[in-house]
Amino acid sequence: MDPIAFKFLGAGLACIGMGLAAMGVGNIFGNFLSGALRNPSAADGQFARAFIGAALAEGLGIFCLVVALVLLFT
């Protein structure tokens, strides 16, 4: 096979990580909302932790994007 095909295949596989990161952020905030509806008094204390988790998940998604771009353009 052509080495360029492997670059595109690797970049496509790295892009799967971006979709999984988006699903992770949705899972984080979905679970936060479920917990906040069950116990509204504890929601304020957990809101910052939800944003920290979302930031870490998005950071991994951005890392996947960078890996995909490096594979494509090097």
All structural domains of the chain with their residue ranges: 22-73
Going by C-alpha positions, the residue among 24, 5, 18, 25 that lies closest to residue 68 is 18
Q: Is the pLDDT of residue 1 over 80?
A: no
Q: Name the pTM for this structure.
A: 0.78
pLDDT the model gives residue 3: 86
pLDDT digits (tens, 9 = 90+) for 23-71: 999 999 999 999 999 999 988 889 899 999 999 999 999 999 999 999 9
Q: Which CATH superfamily is domain 22-73 in?
A: F1F0 ATP synthase subunit C (1.20.20.10)
What phi, psi does 39 have (nearest 5°)? -140, 85
pLDDT the model gives residue 74: 86
| Residues 13 and 64 sit within 8 Å (Cβ to Cβ) | no
Q: Is the pLDDT of residue 2 over 90?
A: no
Alpha-carbon span 56 to 66, nearest angstrom: 15
